[in-house]
Structure 1
Amino acid sequence: MYILKFGGSSLATSDRIKLVAQIVQEHLKKDAVISVFSAFGGVTNDLLLMAELAAKEDLSYKEILEKNEKRHLEVIRELIPVTAQSAILSKVKNQFNRLETLYEGVYLLNELSDKTRHVVSGFGEILSSLIIAEYFKSLKLDSLFTDSRELIVCKNSNEKVLVNYELTNNNLKDFFAQNKADFYIVPGFVAKNEQGVPSTLGRGGSDFTAAIIAGALDLDKVLIYTDVNGMFTANPNLVPHAYSLKDISYEEAMELSHFGAKVLYPPTLQPLLDKNIEIHIKNTFEPDQPGTVVSKSSQKNFRWVTGITHIDSIRLLNIEGSGMVGIPGFSKRFFEVLFLEHINVVLITQASSEHSICIAVKADEAEKAKEALDEAFQAEIAFKKIKPVEIEDNVSIIALVGDRMKSHHGLSGKMFSALGNNNINIRAIAQGSSERNISAVIAKKDVTKALNTLHEQFFEVPSKELNLFITGVGNVGSKLIDQLKKQESYLLEKLRLKVRVLGLSNSRKMYFNEDGIDLANWKDLLDKGEKANKEEFFSRVKKYNLRNSIFVDNTASPEISEWYKEYLANSIAVVTCNKIACADAYENYENLQNLAREYGASFLYETNVGAGLPIIDTLQNLVASGDRIRKIQAVLSGSLNFVFNNYNASEPFYKVVEKAMEEGYTEPDPKIDLSGVDVARKILILARETGSKLELNDIEREDFLSQESLNSKNNEEFFELLEKDEAHFQQIYKEAEENDCELKYVAQLEEGKAKVGLQKVDAQHPFANLSGSDNIVLFYTDRYAEQPLIVKGAGAGAEVTASGIFADIIRIGKK
């Protein structure tokens, strides 16, 4: 004999009920079937809502009642032939008349008792089962409807369900021995108490009904049909990569259900454990899928952690004070108060100093618990031996669950490390003595990020998801996006990095897509986006609250660099080619470094010096390994190098600068490059990486431009003045040529002092013969005293700068 249970989502419409009929008929081909039915989807919630409204003298309950009656009558008309509708229509209308009478009584008395609540909430299952029984009769099946209220006996106390198994099992055995049919239809959830008053088995009690029957009749398994393919590694609505589990143990299922997995009602397991009756959780809409099997052992599950789950509707209660320390019986008094108030404790943690006890309870029971505890300990509170109970809101519990966790070391370390790396603060921790569960209390706003972080850590193919928010999509930004798109498959296959772009912005528009932006169509999407706003951009990134979030700045904007501290303080990594922040006042530079360390957020700016060249990384490694930097000499401006490599006095100087600008080697304002400010910023950044606390105005700068051109107000005026100064540039070139030298704009740091300026370099110098826009850096250190460590290569251009930013992003992914 099979026992099948169908939930409300499987019965929400007449089409779904027809699908249920097909599943039942397939099982009937093999053996007799007992089917337990829930109420139609959403009906139980409406029944309770109407009771609450009636108790508040709100007549809108009548509209909801009318809507529900109409819904049930429509299902009858859609499922059952007209000639067979009369009897069932009468039965259903009779049930709604009884409901109406009950609600009128609640309305008139302005009172809703627990007994009435139990009675009205059970009508949904009775109604659905009556209709479905009539439908199966119309299909010519040998079916028998039985009211489970006549079979299952329970005792309800403050919503806690206790089944009288002796009476219930005898009733069930007698009924199925005396009544023979191919197909039995049983309403779930409902029962009667020992006094014969209709009651219920608690929310989700239809599962429990099926388990009680299976246990009484010693069946092999219970098949629970719902709207998902079994129990999942995590809530699939919050964790897109969650997948269904093939096998789990009773204990794992109980832990997962207790901590919020709504597929299975926790008491369901009680009648099945001793008899080793399996539970098969299957999908009504994909009945051929294997689903999840809950049994005595989960040895088929090879993972250390079976699932991750959470509870939302909780609040923390904390009591503390010196009057608790070393006082025998304090904990007994504490928990006895909660017991007497029928308050269930979800989680407990106590400091080893005995100075405080922290518990988690259902959100709607927290005020009641506080009031009772404050009253019980009023004397201690009055003498200030302990503080009044404090309630903490907006928290949730997340939990790792798995039978095999107890035999594996380091799981809690991996859990807390993963959460900490994503700035998820842990408020309290608890681990059961069975070591099957590790629970942590976190802020409710962090639940989705925490679940995804832990799922990535424990369940997904070793890979890491990086979530990028990019501002600046001009030359560098567009090249970066092209590179990300081109390398998407490679990053996933070879480096196990899934890189998603979720936000884009330029100076006019910004566009977001939490599921990831289509990089093949990003320009059109951005053009149709909303008006750009730096504050709103940050707010959106913060609101998404995603793990491994990275803010990428491809601009040269001072205003955007001012937002770095906000991102870092929210554990959002920053990758930038914008030199302004690191070349700002030393106090601000140091603050950014401190924020990055404090909040565990990477702050990477390799492209600030040398575009894609590993200059900063090399310098940091030298310093970290204990080497002492004696001197740095460098050609750090790809644009200036390009200009002086191409200027030979045959073509006007301003024309060469224009060409450099056209090819993307200069800043949008080329005066920044030619004035030496850009190089000064770069040597300043290198100086700070060595430990020097220099400011930008400490950098000695030798200008080769006229003061008039340096003071120009725009590019047009600047180029006019360059053209006017052509004779000056020709003279500089002629002097270098006469001495068989090349012109290079050189930066130098030595003994804590830095300077930049145009120099004549002879043919034997390492700076000679630098081609195109190449950069070169010479590191003279204790280890490289005679022959410097040299880093040399292309130091400007959108492509190489984008590749440097890309490299920083990958660096974070590998962290």
Structure 2
Amino acid sequence: MNVCISQPAKEPLLPPHGAALPAISARRRVLAVGLIGPGRVGSALLTQLRTAQPRLSGMGLDLKLCGVAASKRMWLDSDDPDLNARHDGAQTWRPADLHAFAEHVRGMDGRHALLIDCSANDHVAAHYAGWLASGVHVVTPNKLAGSGPLDRWQAIRNACLSGSRFRYEATVCAGLPVVQTLRDLLDTGDRLLAVDGMFSGTLAWLCNQYDGSRPFSALVHEAHALGYTEPDPRDDLSGRDVARKLVILAREAGWQLSLEDIDVQSLVPAALADLSLDDFMERMSELDAPMAAQLANARAHGGVLRHVASLDAHGKAKVSLCVLPAAHPFAHSRLTDNVVQFTTQRYHDNPMLVQGPGAGPEVTAAGIFSDLLRIADTLEFRP
């Protein structure tokens, strides 16, 4: 059981969509926030938080941005009630120091403090256990904590026993409620029989677009130009990023799996795996013949190609390109959709599906924002 998942608050933080805002409450929830990684996702999150500020304040929640840390520099000059999305103006930047940054956000006044890690940095993930143990909540889309060394993952879980919350919904399918759905199924006594999913928006788009009319490599080049892929498309094509998401779900379900336990079948030929990025991009046409053969095989069997990750009831996990029947739910995915299917004791004959956009800074930021609100719901009011 994930001891870091908090219980819902007795009072909802926000009213139903469209409901009138009540008068500003005399009782306030105050949350000091520090953001690590002001890239595309981090900047989108700050914009969303700033836009929501009047609504949140009306419900008694005050968010105070205490600082932003990038890879080499940070600012932590003051609490910023306006959650300004621009950090290159009046702020005084200084060399990055994660320890000093966390201490500044935590403060000395017993405040509620939250660190949001929007980096993809293993060094940052290594600090989570210490932050949580010191009373700082952590929210992240960084997959390197949940899929990294098991002993570090266990240390993070143990640190939550102090009362701090660690939420990581956006590590699996951006803004889709996949981790929470699995947690709810297990916490209500259901038994997981299998998880199957399309966890890569990039590979979903490639499979949806690939019909043989254009070489597969041409589609990868297009996806790269559109910003759908990682800077190095092999990070997507290798399936390793998908494997990390499957590890996170497996551990959530109680399986102590690591990346090495996942059978990952890469789409990148061995001859291209260790090339420089420029050389790989020049030789990407070598992907075309194997993929054309895969497509011909799928059509010969009346099926479609989909990139699927699977976990069974015995903890066996696999990531591969599959031929699925045309009637399969995954065959009807659109664009960059992620689709996750939970087969459980209760949802056996008709498995539960979670489907929607699984890529992009806006939806990822929304998933982080949702986790922040879940933590805020647990905070005590103060005069």
Work out whether the TM-score is over 0.5.
yes
Helix, strand or coil at the partner of 1:470: strand
Helix, strand or coil at the partner of 2:115: strand
The change in CA–CA distance for 1:800 and 1:526 in structure 2 (over 3 A counts) is farther
The change in CA–CA distance for 1:521 and 1:760 in structure 2 (over 3 A counts) is closer
Q: Quick check: 1:745–1:757 contact (8 Å CA) kept in 2?
A: yes
Query: 1: distance between equivalents of 2:191 and 2:35?
Result: 37
1:484 matches 2:46: no
1:710 matches 2:268: no
Alpha-carbon shift at residue 636 of structure 1 (Å):
1.0
Report the equivalent of 2:283. Answer: 721
**AA paired with 2:156?**
L
Helix, strand or coil at the partner of 1:552: strand
1:437-462 per-position Cα deviation (integer Å, ceiling 9, x unaligned): xxxxxxxxxxxxxxxxxxxxxxx723
Query: 1: distance between equivalents of 2:222 and 2:377?
Result: 39
Please, what TM-score do these two structures have when normalized by structure 1? Answer: 0.42
**AA paired with 1:601?**
S
1:811 matches 2:374: yes
Q: Quick check: 2:298–2:305 contact (8 Å CA) kept in 1?
A: yes
5 Å-filtered alignment, 1:526-675, equals: 529-543=93-107, 547-597=111-161, 599-675=162-238
Report the equivalent of 1:288. Answer: none
Helix, strand or coil at the partner of 1:784: coil
Query: 2: distance between equivalents of 1:733 and 1:465?
Result: 55
Report the equivalent of 2:338. Answer: 775
The change in CA–CA distance for 1:743 and 1:591 in structure 2 (over 3 A counts) is same
Helix, strand or coil at the partner of 1:767: helix
Query: 1: distance between equivalents of 2:318 and 2:347?
Result: 22
Q: Quick check: 1:514–1:544 contact (8 Å CA) kept in 2?
A: no
1:690 matches 2:253: yes
Q: Quick check: 1:505–1:526 contact (8 Å CA) kept in 2?
A: no
Query: 1: distance between equivalents of 2:85 and 2:347?
Result: 49
The change in CA–CA distance for 1:745 and 1:526 in structure 2 (over 3 A counts) is farther
Helix, strand or coil at the partner of 1:568: helix
Query: 1: distance between equivalents of 2:50 and 2:222?
Result: 29
1:802 matches 2:365: yes
**AA paired with 1:592?**
I
The change in CA–CA distance for 1:646 and 1:526 in structure 2 (over 3 A counts) is farther
Alpha-carbon shift at residue 709 of structure 1 (Å):
2.2
The change in CA–CA distance for 1:472 and 1:659 in structure 2 (over 3 A counts) is farther
Helix, strand or coil at the partner of 1:524: coil
Alpha-carbon shift at residue 644 of structure 1 (Å):
1.6
Report the equivalent of 1:524. Answer: 88
**AA paired with 2:75?**
Y
Report the equivalent of 1:737. Answer: 299
Q: Quick check: 2:116–2:138 contact (8 Å CA) kept in 1?
A: yes
Q: Quick check: 2:33–2:116 contact (8 Å CA) kept in 1?
A: yes
Q: Quick check: 1:479–1:798 contact (8 Å CA) kept in 2?
A: yes
Helix, strand or coil at the partner of 1:462: coil
1:515 matches 2:59: no
Helix, strand or coil at the partner of 1:778: strand
Alpha-carbon shift at residue 767 of structure 1 (Å):
0.6
**AA paired with 1:695?**
S
Q: Quick check: 2:126–2:152 contact (8 Å CA) kept in 1?
A: no
**Larger RCO: Structure 1 or Structure 2 (Cα < 8 Å, ≥ 6 residues apart)?**
2
Query: 1: distance between equivalents of 2:137 and 2:90?
Result: 23
Please, what TM-score do these two structures have when normalized by structure 2? Answer: 0.86
Helix, strand or coil at the partner of 2:89: helix
Q: Report how many aligned residue pairs link the two structures.
A: 353
Alpha-carbon shift at residue 662 of structure 1 (Å):
4.3
Q: Quick check: 1:509–1:527 contact (8 Å CA) kept in 2?
A: no
Q: Quick check: 1:472–1:554 contact (8 Å CA) kept in 2?
A: yes
Alpha-carbon shift at residue 792 of structure 1 (Å):
1.0
Larger-Rg structure = 1
Query: 1: distance between equivalents of 2:90 and 2:264?
Result: 41
Alpha-carbon shift at residue 800 of structure 1 (Å):
0.5
The change in CA–CA distance for 1:508 and 1:722 in structure 2 (over 3 A counts) is same
5 Å-filtered alignment, 1:414-493, equals: 461-493=26-58
The change in CA–CA distance for 1:769 and 1:535 in structure 2 (over 3 A counts) is same
The change in CA–CA distance for 1:577 and 1:705 in structure 2 (over 3 A counts) is same
Helix, strand or coil at the partner of 1:523: coil
Query: 2: distance between equivalents of 1:595 and 1:662?
Result: 42
The change in CA–CA distance for 1:697 and 1:806 in structure 2 (over 3 A counts) is same
Alpha-carbon shift at residue 725 of structure 1 (Å):
2.9
**AA paired with 1:721?**
R
The change in CA–CA distance for 1:670 and 1:725 in structure 2 (over 3 A counts) is closer
Alpha-carbon shift at residue 760 of structure 1 (Å):
1.1
**AA paired with 2:178?**
I
Alpha-carbon shift at residue 661 of structure 1 (Å):
3.7
**AA paired with 1:465?**
V
1:495-540 per-position Cα deviation (integer Å, ceiling 9, x unaligned): 4321221111222321113331644462323885112233432343
The change in CA–CA distance for 1:539 and 1:663 in structure 2 (over 3 A counts) is farther
More helix by share: 1
The change in CA–CA distance for 1:709 and 1:517 in structure 2 (over 3 A counts) is farther
The change in CA–CA distance for 1:465 and 1:779 in structure 2 (over 3 A counts) is same
Q: Quick check: 1:743–1:760 contact (8 Å CA) kept in 2?
A: yes
Alpha-carbon shift at residue 492 of structure 1 (Å):
1.8
1:762 matches 2:325: yes
Q: Quick check: 1:469–1:504 contact (8 Å CA) kept in 2?
A: yes
Alpha-carbon shift at residue 568 of structure 1 (Å):
0.7
Q: Quick check: 1:510–1:526 contact (8 Å CA) kept in 2?
A: no
Alpha-carbon shift at residue 752 of structure 1 (Å):
1.6
Helix, strand or coil at the partner of 1:667: coil
5 Å-filtered alignment, 1:325-340, equals: none
Helix, strand or coil at the partner of 1:666: coil
Helix, strand or coil at the partner of 2:327: coil
Q: Quick check: 1:702–1:757 contact (8 Å CA) kept in 2?
A: yes
Q: CA RMSD in A?
A: 2.0
The change in CA–CA distance for 1:767 and 1:466 in structure 2 (over 3 A counts) is same
5 Å-filtered alignment, 1:345-424, equals: none
Q: Quick check: 2:47–2:85 contact (8 Å CA) kept in 1?
A: no
Alpha-carbon shift at residue 801 of structure 1 (Å):
0.4
The change in CA–CA distance for 1:651 and 1:473 in structure 2 (over 3 A counts) is farther
**AA paired with 1:580?**
L
The change in CA–CA distance for 1:468 and 1:622 in structure 2 (over 3 A counts) is same
Query: 2: distance between equivalents of 1:466 and 1:652?
Result: 51
1:642-699 per-position Cα deviation (integer Å, ceiling 9, x unaligned): 1221233333433423443444433344322211111111111111111111121111
1:176-219 per-position Cα deviation (integer Å, ceiling 9, x unaligned): xxxxxxxxxxxxxxxxxxxxxxxxxxxxxxxxxxxxxxxxxxxx
1:712-745 per-position Cα deviation (integer Å, ceiling 9, x unaligned): 34x3233223233322223323332343322111
Helix, strand or coil at the partner of 1:772: coil
